[in-house]
Amino acid sequence: MPSAVTNSTNGTHPGGKPEERRVINLGAIPKEWILDPALLHELQTPWETSKNNMLALDLPQKSGILTSRELEITGSYTVQSLLKELASGAITSVEVVTAFCKRAAIAHQVTNCLTEIFFDKALERARYVDSERNRGNILGPLHGLPISVKECFHVDSIPTTLGLRAFNGHVATTNSAVVKLLFDQGAVLFCKTNIPQTMMSSDSENYLFGRALNPNNTMLTAGGSSGGEGALVAFRGSPIGVGTDIAGSIRIPSFCCGTYGLRPTVNRVPYGGQQSVSTPGMATISACAGPLANSIDALEIFMKAVINARPAGYDTRAFDLPWRDVSFRAKTTLRIGVVAEDPVFPVHPPVKKALNDAIKMLQSQGHEIVWLASEDCHVAHATMVAWSLMGLDDRADKLVKAGGEDVIYSRVRITEEKDKIDWSYLSAIEEQPTLQRWAALNVKQMEIASDWEKQWQRHRLDAAICFPCQTTAVEHDESGMPPYTQFLNLLDYPACIIPFGKVDSSTADEPFEVKPGQSAPAYNYNNLEGAPCAIQVFTQKMRDEECLQAARVIDWCLHQSP
């Protein structure tokens, strides 16, 4: 069993050997953007096992690396206002890209959130975008905006390794579908972000690049598998990040790091042309691509730009459906279902408190709450079906073995947690040959989806809310299974994370017990104090527009209402 990383700043990994890719990354940051070590002298080490709040240090300000204008661009502007200024020519893409490159460079030095740094190419692209603007050409709705992408996306001439030694040395010769689309809509890509080994863990650690740290508390996970994006966006080192989600990989980093995140319906955002650990053509549970950002507005700007660009022209699997304006359908009050805590997967006190506090605020604003029964929500059963479907494909483990890697400890922990629960729901299925097992699991999936469809109709729900996870961000390698995100992947429901509150002393002394047959990480309040909390909003399949509309209403109620 590999040991945990002891210090994310020294290039060590499980096994203790410094990796060349880490050195290359730091070398890609201009020397004048390297932090003065004196700014970090008060931090406790090693960072991975010490409680350091990198956001509270205000390094972008104190380092002197960003100008006052660059601090304003990265810290005060919204995505909407940036795009307006870029389109009008009041601000140049070079200014905006430079500002976010600097901030991303700082974020990487204290969270290890990046895998590929190509600031020089981004600035070259920004100069081109500005020259087109000077000629009166606006390249698209994302004209001049810097966007970061997860490591798995191909960007022409940039390595795509997935952090796996089996892919080390691979350099992309083309762009993934969504990358090409973003370029065509005027965006400027400037970096790629960190992930876990095989992208099948809630802790973003791999042997090539090491572990991404949570900027709110370096002893806690940044989430996975889009953990680098979560850390970068939380640090305001990127206005919009693009992640992927097959079991919660956009939403988990979002709530761990305190950002907004959207898991769209599969194939509304083009997903094709990525580096993958899956067997080609073996789509057991389909993954999707989607945005992480610091506001609902930014999520919607991304979705509208992508979907109105007719993504089917970039990926034959993508839907050729325009973004629907559902604002005219906005209701004064919403009828909101609440997913019950599943007895197999008990929830930490701060997470439970955040949802309950949100419900009280929603009720105070006149929204109607419908409590859904645990047995009707099928969280545990859906998680088992989804996990069994994903387990039919063993290519990821073969790639790990081919690269001579040990399995990272967070993946070992998932297996340990899986073994704690009762899988008798699928016992007859698991004994069948692979093809028959696949078919039988699909039948279970359809049964669960059918039950959920009946709930929507029976309760006349506009949207539903639930815990984003059993926990907030927890100590590295301790996350376990992701039931409250994964069941929505099985249903293919769009889901949005809304940050809401932090772990505080009100739950410090609340008991938390994991009984036999249950699975959950330990609750260690002293380590988790100050960690971001969140709620998850979801709607039915293909109702992405309604999901964001409901999330907007709920977000306003939680953060802006009197």
- Is residue 261 within 8 A of residue 292, CB to CB? The reply is yes
HSE-CB of 512 using CA atoms within 13 angstroms:
21
In this structure, how many other beta carbons lie within 10 angstroms of the beta carbon of residue 403?
Answer: 16
b/e 330-345 (16+ beta carbons within 10 angstroms → b):
eeeebebbbbbbbebb
Coil, strand or helix at 560: coil
> Both tokens of residue 134?
């000077």
Amino acid at 108: H
Q: Which residues, 6+ apart, have CB-to-CB distance to 552 below 8 Å?
A: 296, 300
Stated as kind and residue range, the H or E segment containing 418 is: helix 409-418
List 150, 180, 352, 353, catalytic entry: 150
> For residue 533, which phi and psi values (nearest 5 degrees)?
-110, 170
Q: At what angle do helices 296-307 and 544-559 cross, to 10 degrees?
A: 170
Amino acid at 159: P
Running DSSP on this structure, what letter comes out for residue 315?
Answer: -
In this structure, how many other beta carbons lie within 10 angstroms of the beta carbon of residue 463?
Answer: 23
First to last CA, the chain: 52
Q: What is the arrangement of strands in the sheet containing 188-193, beginning at the earlier edge strand?
A: 114-117, 188-193, 146-150, 240-245, 288-293, 260-263, 495-502, 532-538, 463-466, 335-338, 368-371
List 8, 148, 238, 249, catalytic entry: 249
> Both tokens of residue 65?
């690396």
Amino acid at 323: W
Answer yes or no: 249 catalytic. Answer: yes
Could you please report the per-residue DSSP string of 164-210?
-GGGTT-B-SS--HHHHHHHHTT-EEEEEE---GGG-SSS-EETTTE
Identify whether 225 is preceded by a cis peptide bond (ω within 30 of 0): yes
d(CA 81, CA 286) in angstroms, rounded, equals: 34
Amino acid at 44: Q
Q: Which residues, 6+ apart, have CB-to-CB distance to 434 below 8 Å?
A: 392
Answer yes or no: 150 catalytic. Answer: yes
- Is residue 144 within 8 A of residue 96, CB to CB? The reply is yes
List 204, 225, 254, 388, catalytic entry: 225
Could you please report the per-residue DSSP string of 228-241?
HHHHHHHTTS-SEE
d(CA 356, CA 353) in angstroms, rounded, equals: 5
Burial (CB count <10 Å: 0-12, 13-18, 19+), residue 502? middle
Q: Which residues are catalytic?
A: 150, 225, 249
